[in-house]
Chain A
Amino acid sequence: MEQVGSTSHKKRKKFWTEERKEAFSGYIYISPFFILFFIFGLFPILFSFYLGFQKWNGLNEMEFVGFQNFEWILTDPIFWASLSNTLIMWLLGTLPQLLIGIILAYALNASIIKMKSVFRVSIFMPYVTSTVAVAIVFGVMFNSQEFGLINVILGTFGLDPISWSTSEWGVKIAISTMVFWRWVGYNTIIYLAGLQGIPHELYEASVIDGATVRQKIQYITIPLLRPIIILTVFTSTIGALQLFTEPLIYIGRTYREEGITVVLYLYREAFSNLAFGPASAAAIILFLIIIVLSTINVFIANRIGR
């Protein structure tokens, strides 16, 4: 007995070498991520692709319907409206945001400016506010009534009040403003970090060579800022394609055609109409759009990088 015990003990000791112990610990330490990601990430994604081809309301048996869900969605004018709304609000909310972000970062980086931290903190404050709060506050500002703040301001310029929440462009401008206000400071600070990373010697050398301010911006600032510009375009594009909270809060359960976005459409199909098949099909289409736009982005980034 004694001998058996000692040999098995020896064997175990041999099995648990330092390398094995280390590898075992390594796998244990990273396993929570993979377990959780499998349950709440990978499996749902694969299941979404499956659901896109099923008819299902969450209760009854699933029924395979081929491409019917996709046909149904692609012939639904509301889906096309959601798609074009998303793209329009992406342009209205994102491009001005990035452009003004660069200008503000440039101003904040100028050596002649004092009280920088006060400006920095105030410009960044909107980002700390929740999207729901932003949407509620701006929703009240963009009230369609004549006592809504924006309409009052228009009134002081002698302009007629606009029914923001029901007009084709009013909804989009209101929602884009919310996105713009919350994110412009964030992007400003990111650009500022990029500007501060540009070595001072470059500017000094260019001054010796007699460069003008415009030349400095054109030949030093913009090229060196390029990776960061690409990064912000990339992240804000993906963010804009997932626009949901602002339109839901602003236009509410009416899901108005003027303001519905792709994710809002998906949400309506799934949780209001219990049409999980078409909703999953919409999710797949959104995924494909994101992949295409990301690929274009990477492609452009590589070309510019050269």
Chain B
Amino acid sequence: MGDSYTQKQSKIFAKSFLYFLLAISAILSIFPFYWMFVMATNDNSAINSLPPAFIPGGELVANFMNVINTIDFFGAIWNSLFVSVVTTIGVLFLCSLAGYAFAKLKFKGRDILFIAILVTMMIPPQLGLIPQYYIITKLDWLSDMKAIIFPGLIDAFGIFWMRQYISSNVPDELVDAAKIDGCSNFRVYWNIAIPVIIPAFATLAIIRFMYIWNDFLWPLVVLREESAYTIQVALRGLIDNYVRDNGMIMSGTFWATVPLIIIFLLFNRLFISSLTEGAVKS
């Protein structure tokens, strides 16, 4: 009797310990978002006093007005949206096309070329940074969205991912039947493969969109004019001032972060599985 009592007690202890652990982690994960909002709604003197403001204030609009007066916030959001969407659509098309070729078409050197693509994944992108910058200047693409989009279309992981998905989800019989009916290779890809690989598109789109949206080093190097800044580069302009207005800085950061967080919360299952499955399966 006594033994089962202590066992029950230790089970309750273990349970509350695990809850405590998870709750602390969840709070620490969410708190910076709350803190961002608190600062985005308070003026600088409330933030820079002791103790600092811990609850939201009434400066929401004023701080955001300061952001708009300091950087081209909406222009930068538009630029980010534009390059992210265009690159993502391009990647979906090119990767599924190449993935289809590697999965369903026969040609000489196919396996070696596929391995070559996998090997390129191991190379750190910064290695070629300076010549890449030089090429962009030679192409006269500085401060041009093409400088982000075209290099962004290179996605070895995407080709790998699409090949795996097409191999196991598009039946050979269907491809052969369509060919006997006189469909060209592109028709088979377009009419037979595409409808089947929509779920793989969702995964790849989330990974690629997030990558381009959050990228910083490359846009910082090639986007020289303010009108071309993506939101990440523009945000840096907020902290580069001599006078640090933390209310304004956090307002810009908050409003640049919120859209993606809302989309994430709406589709959290899809986001989490997409962003982690890819890593595990490769």
Residues of A within 8 A of B (CB): 18-19, 21-27, 29-30, 32-34, 36-37, 39-41, 43-45, 47-48, 51, 58, 100, 103-104, 107-108, 110, 112-113, 117-134, 136-141, 145-147, 149, 152, 181, 184-186, 189-190, 193-194, 228, 231, 235, 238, 241-242, 244-245, 249, 252-253, 263, 266-267, 270-271, 276, 279-280, 283-284, 286-287, 290, 294
The majority secondary structure among interface residues of chain B is helix
**Neighbouring B residues of A18 by C-beta, 8 Å:** 179
Are B22's CB and A32's CB within 8 A? no
Asked if B105 and A26 make an inter-chain contact with CB atoms under 8 angstroms apart, the answer reads yes
Residues of B within 8 A of A (CB): 11, 14-15, 18-19, 21-22, 25-26, 28-30, 32-33, 35-36, 39, 47-52, 94, 97-98, 100-102, 105-108, 110, 113, 117, 120, 122-124, 126-135, 150-151, 153-154, 156, 159, 179, 184-186, 189, 210, 213-214, 216-217, 221, 232, 235-236, 238-240, 246, 249-250, 253, 256-257, 260-261, 264-265, 268, 271-272, 275-277, 279-280
Least Cβ–Cβ distance between B19 and chain A, in angstroms: 7
CB of A136 within 8 A of CB of B131, answer no
Q: Which residues of A contact B275 (CB under 8 A)?
A: 127, 186
Other A-B contacts than A29-B98, A113-B19, 14 sampled, CB-CB below 8 A, are: A23-B105, A25-B101, A25-B105, A25-B184, A45-B127, A104-B22, A128-B261, A129-B257, A132-B216, A147-B49, A244-B216, A266-B126, A276-B130, A287-B127
Q: List 25 A-B contacts (CB under 8 A).
A: A27-B101, A29-B101, A33-B159, A41-B154, A45-B123, A47-B128, A104-B25, A121-B272, A123-B22, A125-B30, A125-B264, A132-B253, A137-B253, A138-B32, A145-B48, A152-B52, A185-B29, A228-B280, A238-B124, A244-B126, A267-B129, A270-B130, A283-B126, A283-B129, A283-B130
Instruction: Find the B residue at minimum CB distance from A124.
Output: B272
Collect the chain A residues with CB atoms within 8 Å of residue B238's CB.
Answer: 136
Complex Cα gap A93–B116 (Å): 32
A188 → B minimal CB distance (Å):
8
| CA of A146 to CA of B18, assembled, Å | 34
A198 to chain B minimum Cβ distance, whole angstroms, is 14
> Which residue of A is nearest B52, CB measured?
A147
Contact between A271 and B257, CB atoms less than 8 A apart: no
* A132 touching B151, Cβ below 8 Å: no
| The 4 A-B residue pairs with the shortest CB-CB distance in the complex, in nearest-first order | A44-B128, A44-B131, A23-B107, A26-B107
B210 contacts which of A47, A128, A270, A290 (Cβ < 8 Å)? A128
Residues of A within 8 A of B280 (CB): 190, 193-194, 228, 231
* Interface SS majority for chain A: helix
CB contacts (< 8 Å) of B186 on chain A: these are: 25
Given the complex, which residues of B lie within 8 Å of A242, measured CB to CB? 124, 126
Residue of A nearest to B96 (CB): A29
Assembled-state Cα–Cα distance A238/B121 (Å): 12
CB distance from B146 to the nearest CB of A (A): 11
Give, as a whole number of angstroms, the nearest-CB distance from A299 to chain B.
15
B48 to chain A: which residues have CB within 8 Å? 145, 147
Contacts of B14 in A (CB 8 A): 112
Q: Which of B47, B107, B236 has the most CB of A within 10 A?
A: B107
Give the distance to chain B from A54, nearest Cβ to Cβ, in Å.
11
Say whether B272 contacts A129, CB under 8 Å. no
Given contacts A137-B32, A193-B277, is CB(A286)–CB(B126) below 8 Å?
yes
Q: Would you call A252 and B239 a contact (CB within 8 A)?
A: yes
What chain B residues lie within 8 Å of A149 (beta carbons)?
35, 52
Is the CB–CB distance between B127 and A283 below 8 Å?
A: yes
Question: Which of B33, B128, B150, B154 touches A48 (beta carbons < 8 Å)?
Answer: B128
**Chain A min CB distance to B163 (Å):** 10
Q: Is A32 touching B98 in the complex (CB atoms < 8 A)?
A: yes
- Distance (whole angstroms) from the CB of B126 to the closest CB of chain A: 6
* A22 to B103 alpha-carbon distance, docked (Å): 12
Q: Which residue of A lies closest to B268 (CB)?
A: A121
Question: Could you tell me the distance between the alpha carbons of A140 and B32 in the complex, rounded to whole angstroms?
Answer: 11
On whether A27 and B107 interact (CB within 8 A), knowing A41-B154, A136-B239, the answer reads yes
Q: Could you say which residues of chain B place their CB within 8 Å of the CB of A146?
A: 50
Write the chain B residue with the least CB distance to A291. B122
Residues in chain B near residue A185, CB distance under 8 A: 29
Report how far A141 CA is from B239 CA in the complex, Å.
14
